[in-house]
Each structure stands twice: as structure tokens, then as C-alpha cells.
A and B are shown apart, each in its own frame.
Chain A
């Protein structure tokens, strides 16, 4: 009985969606409304105005910069909420799980992670710095660096893993992305007259590139620290 109700609900949800989807303009037609109104402006004057050849990075950082500032604030808030849920207010009665019977990590995993770790680190820095010319960007490189820290945490001993991330400026690095956006926004206010506005003239092109690179580095470092902190908090007492 309940099964039949669920199937009925799914059919009732999917039929109007399929009807609506079949009446959309044909897939891939160059005269569709999304391709006609504002996308040509971004594609034509993207590289000159925004200073980035990758038009998607130009849209994220320059034309829609406020959305990216909101996004880095969201992921920072998620990290703060994870720490608040798991660490604070717990009475310390967490059951002692497998700490006595922990399975040692196999030799193959340890060897491969040790061999690959420097290449992954260099690749993540390359992806962050080349974000405005090739596909990539701040958050992609930051996630790769965060995944590298997770892999190293799995194979190193406790104190070595804790020494991977810097202890003193930890809070500052976790909030690196929103702070960088705010600083670059104030710089744009001072130089170009609007919050988070990059200079558009040909003479100040070098300044636009510097500001874009600073923002990308901030997003990369902040993203890596946030992901490493979330993993470390969720997998604590390991």
C-alpha cells in the first residue's frame, strides 16, 4: 500500500516535469534565449575588461564577484558549524571505538602516497595560479591541496599529522578566503570607486592581474584549510 503511494507520488512529480522539459527550446540551438541576451557581451569583452582569458573565471571573480564572496562565506560557516556540532557541548562520553583494534595502513598505500605527494602539491599550486588562463581556479586547486592533506593524515602518525597544518595562524588561514575578498573589495573601492571593482583601463592591467591572483590564492588557501579542518574534526580521536 505504501509502495503504491510512493510510486504514485513519483509519477505525479515526474510527469509535469517531463511535460515542461519537452516544451523547452531545442537543446543546443544557438538562438536560445540564454545565448542571446547577455552571454555575447561577456564573451566579447571578457578578456579585455576582466583581465582573464578563461571567461568562466572572469564571470566568477569580476562580473559576479559578490556571489563568490557569498560562496566562500558559506563554506567557512559550514566549517564553523561542523566544529560547533562535534566538539562543543559534548560531554566526553564518546564510546571508545576502534582505537584498540586499529588496522595498520598497508605498505602499498603508504608508498604510493609518499611518492605522489610532491607532484600533487605542485599541481595544486599550478591550478590555483593558472586559473585565469586555463581551466582551474582558486577553489579547484584548494580542494586538491585539501585532499592531499587528508591522504597524508591517513598514513602519518598522530603528531606528524598534526604538524602538517600550521598551528599558530590556524584561525587566520581558515578565514583566509572571506578576509581576502574583503581586503580586495576595499582596495577596489579606493582605486576604482566601487566595492570589488577592478580597474578597467589598459594602463592598470597589471593591477587587475595582481588583484585577481591575490583573490585566487586566498580562495585556494582558505578552501584547503577548511576541508582539512572538517576532515580532522569528523575523524578525530583516530
Chain B
């Protein structure tokens, strides 16, 4: 298994980044830190999907004069473009909710918010 992981090094790095983001969401109490962890998880998944489409020795999928086969798969890149936009949308909404919570309750630590229920 270690040899197969060494060959698929990109995928293993994506799993490691995913676990780091998950650790931030579970362990940290501050809401802003939790959303930074969520963003790290999202970019780890994007890196995994883009790495699925790479072809050895391939060129970027932009046709121009003098560009030859083989090409890198354009489909994962198109999906990830939409994914990045959705990630920034959820981050914007989440951070505006954090600002509102600070105005109403005066704290953004999750355990203090749970006490004040």
C-alpha cells in the first residue's frame, strides 16, 4: 500500500489536508477558526478532483496553433470552477452570520454560546 500511495502522492496529500481541516472544525472553539478549517477542507477536495484529470506529458486544454495531443482532461476543471464559486458564496454568508452573532451576543466562542442558550 505504501508503494501505491507513493505513486498517487497527490491524492494522499489531499487526504492529509482534508484531515487537517477536519481537526480544525472539531477542536477549535472560535467560529472564525472553524470556517478557516472548512475552507481548507474545500480546497483539499478541489485539489483531489483536479489531480484526477492529469495526464502524464499532457498539455493544458487550450487549442491554439501548434498544440498537440495528448491533452489534460478539461471536465474536472470545469466542475471545480463552479465549486470555487459556491465555496466563496458559503464563506461570505457564514462570515456575515458571525458578524451578526457578535453584535447580538458579544462572543464568538462556541462553548460560551452554548452556555448562554
Contacts and interface: CB of A to CB of B under 8 A. Distances in A.
> Do the two chains touch directly in the complex (Cβ atoms below 8 Å apart)?
yes
A71 B107 CA distance: 33
Contacts of B16: 14
Contacts of A9: 26
B69 to A, nearest CB: 8
A224 B56 CA distance: 37
Interface stretch (A39-47, A150-158, A161-169): A39-47
Contacts of B5: 18, 21-22
A6 B56 contact: no
A39 B75 contact: yes
By secondary structure, the A interface counts as helix
A14 B76 contact: no
Q: How large is the interface on B (under 10, 10 to 19, 20 to 34, 35 or more residues)?
A: 35 or more
Interface stretch (A73-81, A98-106, A116-124, A186-194): A73-81
Given A26-B8, A55-B62, A135-B62, A35 B85 contact: no
Interface in B4-39: 4-5, 7-12, 14-16, 18-19, 22-23, 26-27
Contacts of A6: 23, 26-27
Interface string A3-18: 0001001100110011
Interface string B48-89: 000111111010111110000011011111110110011011
B61 A26 contact: no
Contacts of A135: 60, 62
Given A21-B12, A137-B81, 9 more contacts: A6-B27, A53-B64, A55-B74, A64-B78, A68-B82, A78-B90, A82-B92, A85-B100, A134-B62
Interface of A: 6, 9-10, 13-14, 17-19, 21-24, 26-30, 32, 34-35, 38-39, 42-43, 46-47, 53-56, 59-60, 64, 67-68, 70-71, 74-75, 77-79, 81-82, 85-86, 90, 93-95, 134-135, 137, 139, 230, 233-234
